[in-house]
Amino acid sequence: MSETVTTSETTKLPREIWILVGASFLIAIGYGLIGPALPNYATSFDVGVTAASVVVSAFAFVRLAFAPASGRLVTKFGERPIYLWGVSIVAVGTLACALAADYWQLLLFRSASGIGSTMFTVSAIGLLIRISPTHLRGRASGLWGTSFLLGGIAGPVLGSALVTVSLRAPFVAYGSALVVTTVFVWWKLRGSELASRPADDTTPTMTFPQALRHPTYRAALASNLANGWAVFGVRMSLMPLFVTAVLAKDESFTGIALAVFAAANAAVLLLAGRFADRRGRKLPALFGLALLGVGTAGLGLTADPWLFLAASFVAGVGSGALNPSQSAAVADVLGAKARGGSVLAGFQMAADVGAVVGPLAAGAIAEQWSYGAAFGLTGGVAAVALLLWLMARETLPPRDGGEHTAQDVATDNCCPESTQQR
């Protein structure tokens, strides 16, 4: 009987994980709520398309710029307080957007929301790492990613309905939901020993340079950059233009293609997480990058709508297979007992860099040469990440052994004799 209980307990995720998953879903719905409204809301202040685009991109730029500071805050004060402060800042900034009197106020408040966004993103990843059992990290990452994806799908549907009421209504709804989310997470985690950092905590701090010595962390940075480039950048910016210019379809077909990608992604995330926990992180990362690269490059090589949807499906499966494995690998490199805000911030920044640089580079290439070359470049970025993963180490910890973190790698590189001593 005791063996059965032990097995059951080791396959059960802590309740704190489910709280973070629920909060992630609510936050993602909010992103989708304001997505349909933000560009039109900006132009309602008598500005042009370029100025409206600046409001959209300012959020991403501020996230990227503030990520290192977020990492240092998480290292100093802990994940839970920075998570709560981050969500609170986004809540206040979003409600302020609803009350903006002119364009410059809207730009300021939306930019400030980017600060809070990167704070709760980095701290949420840190909490997942610290709370998740080592052999369930892939499953926890897949569950968290699935909740965010499903929220992102539901959000635009609700947002489109709210826009018919008022352009300010989605901001009021999102800001209010974030206030509720902040209270909910604070209430549920206030007495959690797992989520709290002990007052006498003396765990070591892992620095970004230390993590860079680990080949798997370098591979994870490259794959997250490729994922941000393809999924959050090129897919959202270039696909709609390609559908109109090459496939001669309207915006509704773009929505279908995005939905196919999201459905394939969601279908694979949990399975990939379980596989990563049982068989290792490296194989699903390689499989995911291969499919992401082939699917994304294939988008620009066809003029047939059905083949375009098939390529979207393949890319979605690839992204879904990649995400849990690379997140779990970063958690393995960091280890459950180390502080590593800068390590987590660096990982998040890689995706943000890809999301910012990807559309600019691919857009310029599409304008100068062709859409096929632009999508091909994106597939090439995934191929480079795949090469780095081929050289990476498998990081899945043995169930009955300790973890081999980046600090161990740094020690081995500096003092090879220590390896023999261990």
* Separation of alpha carbons 288 and 316, rounded Å: 9
Supply the pLDDT for residue 283: 95
Q: How many whole angstroms from its chain centre is CA 192?
A: 25
Supply the pLDDT for residue 8: 39
Q: What is the tens place of the pLDDT at every residue in 24-37? A: 888 888 777 787 67
Is residue 45 scored above 80 in pLDDT? yes
Domain ranges of the chain: 11-195, 203-422
Type and span of the H or E element at 1: none
Higher model confidence: residue 94 or residue 143?
A: 94
Contact 96, 377 (CB under 8 A): no
Contact 84, 182 (CB under 8 A): yes
* Separation of alpha carbons 214 and 218, rounded Å: 7
Structure-token pair, residue 335: 């280890």
Token pair 């979003």 in the structure block, residue: 94
Structure-token pair, residue 368: 């100068």
Is residue 282 scored above 90 in pLDDT? yes
Token pair 């400030």 in the structure block, residue: 112
Q: What is the DSSP string of 324-393?
A: HHHHHHHHHHH-TTSB-HHHHHHHHHHHHHHHHHHHHHHHHHHHHT-HHHHHHHHHHHHHHHHHHHHTSP
Contact 174, 94 (CB under 8 A): yes
* Separation of alpha carbons 13 and 274, rounded Å: 12
Higher model confidence: residue 181 or residue 408?
A: 181
Is residue 364 scored above 80 in pLDDT? yes
Supply the pLDDT for residue 308: 92
Structure-token pair, residue 119: 């704070």
Instruction: CATH number for 11-195: choose from 1.20.58.220, 3.40.50.1100, 1.20.1250.20, 3.40.50.10800.
Output: 1.20.1250.20
Of the candidates 322, 285, 34, the one whose C-alpha atom is nearest the C-alpha of residue 151 is 34
* Separation of alpha carbons 145 and 35, rounded Å: 19
Label residue 337 by pLDDT band (50, 70, 90). Answer: low
Three-class SS state of 315: helix
Of the given ranges (137-146, 162-171, 199-208, 283-292), which has the lowest mean pLDDT? 199-208
Task: Considering only CA atoms, give the Rg of the chain.
Answer: 21
Is residue 288 scored above 60 in pLDDT? yes
The CA angle 98-103-107, to the nearest 5 degrees, is 75
| Third-level CATH fold of 203-422 | Growth Hormone; Chain: A; (1.20.1250)
* Separation of alpha carbons 21 and 101, rounded Å: 35
Q: How far is CA 186 from CA 126, 253, 342, in A?
A: 16, 41, 24
Q: Which residues contact 91 (CB under 8 A, 6 or more apart)?
A: 116, 175, 178, 179, 181, 182
Kindly state the percentage of the chain with pLDDT values over 70.
Answer: 86
Q: Which residues contact 139 (CB under 8 A, 6 or more apart)?
A: 13, 270, 273, 274, 277, 324
Q: How many residues make up the chain in this entry?
A: 422
322 half-sphere exposure, CB direction, 13 A CA radius: 31
Q: What amino acid is encoded at 397 in this protein?
A: P
Q: What is the tens place of the pLDDT at every residue in 369-422? A: 888 898 999 999 999 999 999 999 999 887 655 555 555 554 454 444 433 333
